[in-house]
Structure 1
Amino acid sequence: MKSFFLEKGVKLSVKTYSVTALSYMALGLFSSLIIGLIIQTIGEQLGWSYFVDMGTLAMGLMGPAIGAAIAYGLHAPPLIMFSAVISGEAGAELGGPAGAFLAVLISVELGKLVSKETKLDIIVTPFVTIGTGFTIAYFLGPIINTGLLGFGELIMWATDQQPFIMGILVAVLMGLALTAPISAAAIAIMIDLEGIAAGAAAVGCAAQMVGFAVSSYRENGVSGLFALGIGTSMLQVPNIVKNPLILIPPTVAGAVLAPLSTMVFLLENNAAGAGMGTSGFVGQIMTFSVMGFTPYVLWSILLLHVVGPALISLFLSEWMRKQNWIKLGDMKLDQG
């Protein structure tokens, strides 16, 4: 059985599924939802409907992009790769990015097992791949969605706490959601997060992105700085699986800065910007949209969304490197 699996390119290993597959899932997400939102935001701010339409299209194709990316990363044969596009869409529609990941991962691996095993390969292989992907999405998608709703309720509970505690809880939870293979933006919109709580969420999300971008600069250089800083911190998920300690610097940065946002600077945001961090600067643009473009708001954003997270994360990550808790290469991105 083991030799058959290896012959078919199915490697039953934690590294394959928790690192390689997640790495390519993040690339698929960046190539659709994240870049699409950036393009859409540019179009909305400049009044260019052409860019708005382009970005909206890219965002809507998140599922297929994740499907193609994971299939490519797992070295799937052509028929499986093309079919995985449909598995990805089914998973995304019923369970978001996490649903797409599960649907594609399982459907691709089962597709490999039947690939070229019959004379009707051109029918059997895509049927098994698509059928598996849709079945996984159909049964597990609602469960994943229920989990997201539960997480949303936890965020809503956090917003009811007094400002100091609320700031820390919302920033940490939303920041972790942004970096995890779920959609912080979708959660913020789903629960209609707004006001001071949305401002704290934006701080926590920005801390994850800027924190990872700065603390991993020595490994990833300028390209990583932009990919993480204005793209998505989700690119670090495979590295987090290998060394969860790298999550500490950006998470602490968000927890430290959030109370300043809720009690001192009183930054506000809306549901569209609360879960975006610095991705395409959507979080910052939405802050200006809610509070107005003033020198006070500008300097507050620079301090809490950019400079603060960068300094705190860099200091903590360097200290952790000296303790040998973070080693060179622990935050290296596989940028395909």
Structure 2
Amino acid sequence: MKAFLERKGVQLSFQAYAITALSYMALGLFASLITGVIIKTIGQEIPFINSITWLSEALINMGDFAIQPAIYGGAVGVAIAYGLKAPPLVMFSALFAGAYGAQFEGGGPAGAFVASLIAIEIGKLVSGETKIDIIVTPMVTIFTGFLIASFISPSIAQFLTSFGEVINWATDLRPFIMGILVAALMGLALTAPISSAAIAIMLELEGIAAGAATVGCAAQMIGFAASSYRENGVSGLFSQGLGTSMLQIANIMKNPMILIPPTLTGMILAPVATVWLQMENNAYGAGMGTSGLVGPIMTFNTMGFSIEIVWAVLLLYIIAPAVLSLLVSEWMRKKNLIQYGDMKLQA
């Protein structure tokens, strides 16, 4: 059985399902749901665009189409199939599994993830095993996706939604403590090879809980970008500050101490966001930090665009994370806890 699973490319492991599949799910969501929300927001909120009626309507219609469950669910299915190296027929059939999982009884992103993942792995098992593979493989993959979405996905989606509601409720009730926890955990999830964006969307984080998550994620990205500037220069500044702090994962494995500056920064800034400024966000921006500026854009989408919000975003997402992380990392360098080159990105 082990040899058969290896031959079919099925890896029953945490790495495959909780890291690889979840990370590619995030790419699928970014290429559909998140980008659709950004396009729609541009059409609705940018004054110059909004004044051009035909352009505004086109962007809003484009965004509305991209955020449909069947669209982003299909994108999730194909993305996970690609990440798990599924054969072509399985990959193309995974579009149905993801779309149905997202659309059926409000399964959403969680439903798309579960239905796609199981359908893909079952599809890989039968792929290439018969002389009528072109019929059997897509039929088995589609049928599996349908069954999983019908019987399991809605319950899992409901559980994750309920869990997210508890987090949102607890953060509203105890914004100081819960804000710190949410910022730290979501920030670490962003830097680890796990998708914080997918987690935030599946949990449907919102309000100040989403605001705390955004601060924690931004602290990781901007924090690493500022702390490692001498080692990585301008390219490292942008690749981490606007891309992802996940680029540091190999360096973290060598010296976990480099995680302290950005993580501590997020924990310090979280109460400022939740208690003092009461920053809010939605699920699409909560786990993105400053990646592609999605976190700030979704903050404006949630709280409105005003000079006060602009200053709050600049302070909590960019200026303060850069300054605090740099100060902490410099202190750790003086104590020989971090050495020059510990945060050097590999070419």
2:60 aligned to which of 40, 52, 69: 52
Alignment of 1:66-215 (within 5 A): 66-93=76-103, 94-141=106-153, 142-161=155-174, 164-165=176-177, 167-169=179-181, 171-172=183-184, 179-180=195-196, 182-184=198-200, 187=203, 193=207, 199-200=211-212, 202-211=214-223
The alpha carbon displacement at 1:311 in A equals 3.6
- For the 8 Å contact 1:172–1:204, the answer to whether it is kept is yes
Matching of residue 37 in structure 1 with residue 37 in structure 2: yes
CA distance in 2, matches of 1:288, 1:81: 36
* CA RMSD, 1 decimal: 4.3
The alpha carbon displacement at 1:21 in A equals 3.1
CA distance in 2, matches of 1:244, 1:102: 34
Aligned AA for 2:109? P
Deviations 1:120-149 (A, max 9, x none): 322221121122223333333222431331
1:305 aligned to which of 308, 311, 317: 317
Deviations 1:215-260 (A, max 9, x none): 687689748945x655677x67998998996875544322211222
Aligned AA for 2:124? K
Please state whether the residue corresponding to 2:129 is helix, strand or coil: coil
- For the 8 Å contact 2:110–2:202, the answer to whether it is kept is no
Q: What TM-score do the two structures reach when normalised by structure 2?
A: 0.71
Q: What TM-score do the two structures reach when normalised by structure 1?
A: 0.73
CA distance in 2, matches of 1:225, 1:108: 35
CA distance in 1, matches of 2:85, 2:65: 27
When residues 288 and 96 of structure 1 are mapped into structure 2, their CA distance, relative to the original with a 3 A threshold, is closer
When residues 324 and 131 of structure 1 are mapped into structure 2, their CA distance, relative to the original with a 3 A threshold, is farther
When residues 88 and 243 of structure 1 are mapped into structure 2, their CA distance, relative to the original with a 3 A threshold, is farther
Q: Which has the higher contact order (CA 8 A, sep 6+)?
A: 1
CA distance in 1, matches of 2:253, 2:113: 19
- Structure 2: gaps of 5 or more residues: 51-55
Aligned AA for 2:128? K
How many pairs were matched up?
323
The alpha carbon displacement at 1:70 in A equals 2.0
- For the 8 Å contact 2:210–2:283, the answer to whether it is kept is no
CA distance in 1, matches of 2:2, 2:128: 18
- Structure 1: gaps of 5 or more residues: none
Aligned AA for 2:99? E
CA distance in 2, matches of 1:270, 1:123: 45
- For the 8 Å contact 2:101–2:111, the answer to whether it is kept is yes
When residues 199 and 76 of structure 1 are mapped into structure 2, their CA distance, relative to the original with a 3 A threshold, is closer
When residues 42 and 120 of structure 1 are mapped into structure 2, their CA distance, relative to the original with a 3 A threshold, is same
- For the 8 Å contact 1:155–1:173, the answer to whether it is kept is no
Deviates more, 1:178-187 or 1:150-159: 178-187
Please state whether the residue corresponding to 2:207 is helix, strand or coil: coil
